[in-house]
A and B are shown apart, each in its own frame.
Chain A
Amino acid sequence: MAVKTAAAVPRRPRVWWPLGFLLPALVLFVGLVVLPIVVALLLSFCSWNGSTQIQFVGLANWHQFVHDDSALAALQRTALLVIASLLIQEPIAMALGIYAAGRQRHRAVLTAIYFLPMLISAAALGILWGQLLSPVNGGIQYAGQNFGLVFLNHDWLGDPELVMATVIVLIAWEFIPFHSLLYQAGVRQIPTSIYEAAALDGIGPVRRLFSITIPMLRHTIVTSSTLNIVGSLTVFDLIYTLTGGGPGESTRVLALAQYLEGFNSLNFGYASVLAVVLGVAAVIVSVILVGVTGFGKMRSQAEGV
């Protein structure tokens, strides 16, 4: 490739400092991210209970997975969680983001409060909500019985029919602030001139929303949706501290199933199958949607304004 002639002086002689600069990051990344990916794949063909020797068992774990009704149910719960989260969180987050983009003082104050759930660790949130929804003098139950809010009178965590809905709502409560932050940033980047032109043309607020704001936000919508899908696909902390996957298996989503299968039932080989399925699903979603994001980014830049 690089033909050395007297005329073409090589611009950059071979230097070694970039390798030295990359090395610490590469060691950490290869050792603790790349190697675990390989080990997870290998373990899915092995049997290991945490203390004995790891044994190669071929496709046995994968065979078990294909015939496992409990795993199928976990997959269905995960799909429900992902779709419901997307449909519930994105519209609310967009509305809040548009609201929060305003620079009025009262909006700034309210927005500061709206963003608070982002700061609380998901594990602490699970415990806080577990107490709020407790049937033993929990705040929600008390409000249902004494404040006339009869629609609150349900066993939100104990009823297997209701508990997934509860989890979906609480995950929305946890993640909407982050997504509205993304939408706030997106709205603030829309050039004011477009709205001024629209106002001069006498275009009403509803049309401004659907013809200017939402189209201009499409890049944010894709980013937020990607993070939303991957986030709810892998959600663990809140469900684990709130229900532990129960009652029964009614909130056992994929991330919980692989944890419990491994660290509670000590079937690390079979748990690795579930982990690989989870990881592959997350990577596929990210790669597809990031591809779309790149496309959307190019388009929005090309259309400029």
Chain B
Amino acid sequence: MSGTREASPRSAGGSDRATSLLGSTPSRHARPTSRVAARLRRGGTWLAALIWLVVVGAPIYYMVVVSIEPPDEFLASNPWLPSGATLGNYGAVFDSGFARYLVNSVIVAGATTVLAVAVSLLAAYAIVIHTSRATGFVFRAFLIGFAVPIQALIIPLYLELLRLSLYDSLLGLILPMAAFSLPITILVLANFLREVPLSLVDAMRLDGAGPLRILWSLALPISWPAVATVGIFDFVTSWNNFLFPLILTQSPDNATVPLSVFNFQGNHFANVPQIMASVALATAPLLVLYLFARRRLISGLAAGFGS
């Protein structure tokens, strides 16, 4: 279970393998009939790949095209083709306070990620370096938390945050999101910290370095790829979290981007182009991130699962 392996080309032979896997290249000793069969298979693969491209691409294309359509022309025209181009719909979304929701989302997702990774790094270090019955028990307890779905706990969380006076605050989103990120974050970091050579830890300890110092200057530099990977996973998960803002906030000022899109649709239900602009804006930050850091983002999304 290591999320860091994915997406880095490991073997040069990958290409050959995958083609032979799908039978795209005819075998060297192929008889004519099997050459026809191989060509058919290759055609079939291309066709299936293109069909899936349409299935995935069409809704995303639709979102972009409708979002630039002039609202008063939308209902009378082909929605798949722009009858005009305007950025006014995006302007309307910003006028509804989108910048505020964007800032909220950056604060919530950013703080959740930093908190979850920092706290998990300390815990994972203790679990891996100081193996004992107690740390082993704590590790297993965290792993069981992995199986508990957040959907089943929204009522007690709502009650608890009301009592803590954290209801309807950004901190009241950050703390539960970080808490639910702990199992996966600790799991990924612990798997990586096992690579830290214990002899080096002992050497530093003999030199009088405290555990924090060893974590900071030995373990953290080694586990940096795992920190980045799981940090991305935590960030994307909390960025897209819709349920917690839905139940734990009330005032529009504390909405994050996914909730704001839902609220926007409720307030502008007849204005489809503006709704599509709000969906497009909500999607844009991660799409930009994807353009610039696709490998990292993909391996982050597979964090811990892609083994």
A182→B305 contact, CB < 8 A: yes
Residues of B1-57 contacting chain A, CB below 8 A:
5-7, 9-11, 13-24, 27, 29, 34, 38, 41, 45, 48-49, 52-53, 55-57
Asked whether B111 is an interface residue with its Cβ less than 8 Å from the other chain, the reply is no
| Partner among A22, A119, A123, A146 whose Cβ is within 8 Å of the Cβ of B123 | A22
A18→B262 contact, CB < 8 A: no
B56→A116 contact, CB < 8 A: yes
B283→A37 contact, CB < 8 A: no
Asked whether A8 is an interface residue with its Cβ less than 8 Å from the other chain, the reply is no
Q: How many interface contacts (CB-CB < 8 Å) are there between A and B? A: 310
A95 / chain B contacts, CB cutoff of 8 Å: 48
Identity of the chain A residue whose Cβ is nearest the Cβ of B138 in the assembled complex: A22
A279→B45 contact, CB < 8 A: no
Asked whether A295 is an interface residue with its Cβ less than 8 Å from the other chain, the reply is no
A43→B156 contact, CB < 8 A: yes
B22→A99 contact, CB < 8 A: yes
Asked whether B306 is an interface residue with its Cβ less than 8 Å from the other chain, the reply is yes
A101→B14 contact, CB < 8 A: yes
Asked whether A237 is an interface residue with its Cβ less than 8 Å from the other chain, the reply is yes
A234→B151 contact, CB < 8 A: yes
CB distance from A279 to the nearest CB of B (A): 3
Dominant secondary structure of chain A at its interface with chain B: helix
A40 / chain B contacts, CB cutoff of 8 Å: 152-153, 155-156
CA A185 to CA B192, docked complex, whole Å: 18
Asked whether B93 is an interface residue with its Cβ less than 8 Å from the other chain, the reply is no
Size class of the B contact interface (CB-based, 8 Å): 35 or more
A28→B119 contact, CB < 8 A: yes
B178→A28 contact, CB < 8 A: yes
| Partner among B16, B127, B148, B279 whose Cβ is within 8 Å of the Cβ of A37 | B148
CA A202 to CA B157, docked complex, whole Å: 60
Asked whether A230 is an interface residue with its Cβ less than 8 Å from the other chain, the reply is yes
Residues of B255-280 contacting chain A, CB below 8 A:
257-259, 261-262, 265, 272, 275-276, 279
Identity of the chain B residue whose Cβ is nearest the Cβ of A290 in the assembled complex: B147
Of A110, A119, A132, most buried by chain B (CB within 10 Å of CB) is A119
Complex interface: stretch among A55-63, A66-74, A79-87, A268-276? A268-276
A102 / chain B contacts, CB cutoff of 8 Å: 14-15, 18-19, 21-22, 24
Dominant secondary structure of chain B at its interface with chain A: helix
A279 / chain B contacts, CB cutoff of 8 Å: 148-149, 152-153
Complex interface: stretch among B75-83, B84-92, B94-102, B222-230? B75-83
A188 / chain B contacts, CB cutoff of 8 Å: 10-11, 14
Name A's B-contacting residues (CB within 8 A): 12, 15, 17-19, 21-22, 24-26, 28-29, 31-40, 43, 48, 95-96, 98-99, 101-104, 107, 110, 112-124, 127-132, 134, 136-139, 142-143, 146, 173, 177-178, 181-182, 185-190, 192, 195, 199, 202, 204-206, 208-209, 213, 219, 223, 227, 230, 233-234, 236-237, 240-241, 255, 258-259, 262-263, 268, 271-272, 275-276, 278-279, 282-283, 286-287, 290
Since A98-B21, A236-B243 are in contact, a sample of 19 more A-B pairs with Cβ atoms closer than 8 Å, ordered by chain A residue number, is: A18-B134, A22-B126, A22-B127, A25-B120, A29-B179, A37-B156, A99-B22, A113-B57, A119-B236, A121-B239, A124-B283, A173-B56, A181-B301, A205-B38, A208-B20, A223-B307, A259-B247, A263-B158, A283-B144
- 23 contacts across the A-B interface (CB closer than 8 A): A24-B119, A25-B120, A25-B123, A25-B142, A29-B142, A32-B176, A32-B179, A43-B156, A99-B22, A101-B18, A112-B294, A113-B56, A114-B52, A121-B282, A128-B276, A173-B56, A181-B301, A185-B307, A236-B151, A263-B158, A275-B154, A278-B151, A286-B146
Name B's A-contacting residues (CB within 8 A): 5-7, 9-11, 13-24, 27, 29, 34, 38, 41, 45, 48-49, 52-53, 55-60, 62-63, 66, 74-75, 78-80, 115, 118-120, 122-123, 125-127, 130, 132, 134-135, 138, 141-142, 144-160, 175-176, 178-180, 182, 186, 210-211, 236, 239-243, 246-247, 257-259, 261-262, 265, 272, 275-276, 279, 282-283, 286-287, 290, 294, 297-298, 301-302, 305-307
